[in-house]
Structure 1
Amino acid sequence: MRNILNRTVLSSVVASALLLTAATVSAQAAPVRNIVLVHGAFVGGAGWRPVYDILTKDGYHVTLVQEPLTSFPEDVAAAKRILALQDGPTVLVGHSYGGAIITEAGNDPHVAGLVYIAAHALDNGETEAGNGKKLPNTAHPFARTPDGFLYINPANYPADFAADLPRRQAGFEARAQMLTSASVFTANIADPAWKTKPSWYMVAKADKIISPDLERMYAARAHSHTVEIEGASHSVYESHPKQVAALIEQAARHALD
């Protein structure tokens, strides 16, 4: 009788352990459902709309950060404010200068993975301005206001920033620019999140704002899962939303692996 009882108890313990293990594996394998999108300099969050539509249709909970572009600390604070509202693990996505923001804000415990879309993934001691001198872009120089804000000359915007968008759309965006404090391009990040968080990277092969070679350097250094988009301008997040959404969803599926 005692042996039967012992076997029954043992069987119950083993079964419970198996159920716990299965539950743990299931939880680990579950995809991240929260996505936070961070725009870059000179633009607002509206450009993410095509990507947003795909992700939400596929069942993801997507939130956009609207950073003020007035200083790096204020822009990071705007991202952290949105991250604090997430109810679980989150994939944090940044385009262009938004990459610097997610590199800092990505240390937030909500963040499970990082996605860089033609974006800066700085290391400690680096700045966007400094890296741009090492691997120069092919765009016209930015224009500057008397109070230290930068913008792209609207006449140059379509060719430099959005060569693969319809001309009419690029022209509207040129006139809808968010002027950006020059100070953000010299911000230093002491503790880059890509050193501890898994990352994914999209290289825009026809980018004139950030050198594609600089993008490749960032991706290789961070050991990012990398894709390259042929003919894509700096506005790749708008011109190739299916590929961008696919990379984000890949990150969401594997960030917790």
Structure 2
Amino acid sequence: MSTIGQQIKNIVLVHGAFADGAGWRRVYDDLTARGYRVSIVQNPLTSLADDVAATTRVLDRQDGPTVLVGHSWGGTVITEAGNHPNVAGLVYVSALAPASGETTAQQYEGFAPTPDFVIEVGEDGYGFLNSEKFKVGFAADATDEDAAFLRDSQVPINMSVFEEAVTRAAWADKPSWAVIATEDKSFDQAMLQHMASRAGAKITNVSASHALYITQSGVVADTIVDAAEHALTAVG
């Protein structure tokens, strides 16, 4: 296992839609055991601006260079929030990565649908994942117990967030890394590879579901450590 050197010590983790920060626990435990200072954002999932503001509040509390990590929808959040001066590198965990001026919804154009990832939208415009499809669509490689807990602790997202454009994509100026789950049923695999490649990310592929931040937490943590050790000398 890598150990912390004279490099970045601050890590900020940003969760995605239908989830909260508790899912990062295994990554948190791994990184803190290696000596990193880890903070976890709790996104309200009410708008892109609100989630960026929540992330910025945590970034403001960091005492130096920071690696900013996002899972799924959290990738859109870190793409905007990553312009914060404390952010030295970005890590996308099966995550969205719009370009400047693009919406999250535009990332799906031209790519295959994901029939096992079923969103049910209420009259108020907030979406939950379908309970019966949850495990296969979100956490197929998780234990039944973990998948059930994730399903039953869902945080709904305001579906209008997917129509909000990123103003300036941080990955255009800062180095990025990506961990992509090859068995992800939430996004078309080609879409994930396209977004990460366009961002110039150093890509790690791992056999996992969309819940790879839980089921492959070691691989995710190793990638974050790689970013922490090299972001200050990498070219964005």
Distance 1:113 1:125 in 2: 21
State the match for 2:90 in structure 1: 114
Amino acid at match of 1:43: A
Aligned partners of 2:96 and 2:107 also within 8 Å: no
State the match for 2:99 in structure 1: 123
Is 2:58 the counterpart of 1:82?
Answer: yes
State the match for 1:199 in structure 2: 176
State the match for 1:217 in structure 2: 194
Gaps of 5+ in 2: none
Q: How does 1:235-250 map to 2 (within 5 A)?
A: 235-250=211-226
Show structure 1 runs of 4+ deviating over 6 A: none
State the match for 1:164 in structure 2: 141
Is 2:214 the counterpart of 1:234?
Answer: no
Instruction: Show CA shifts across 1:63-87 (max 9, x none).
Output: 0000100111001000000000000
> Which TM-score applies when normalising by structure 2?
0.94
Deviates more, 1:32-41 or 1:205-214: 205-214
Gaps of 5+ in 1: 1-28
The alpha carbon displacement at 1:171 in A equals: 1.3
Distance 2:198 2:12 in 1: 23
Distance 1:140 1:243, change over 3 A: closer
**Structure 1 vs Structure 2: percent identity of aligned residues?**
46
> Which TM-score applies when normalising by structure 1?
0.86
Across the aligned residues of Structure 1 and Structure 2, the Cα RMSD in angstroms comes to 1.1
Aligned partners of 2:13 and 2:68 also within 8 Å: yes
Greater CA radius of gyration, 1 or 2?
1
State the match for 1:105 in structure 2: 81
Q: Secondary structure at the match of 2:91?
A: strand
Whose helix proportion is higher, 1 or 2? Answer: 1
Paired residues, number: 228
Distance 1:61 1:169 in 2: 26
Identify which of 45, 51, 56 aligns with 2:27: 51
Distance 1:142 1:239 in 2: 22
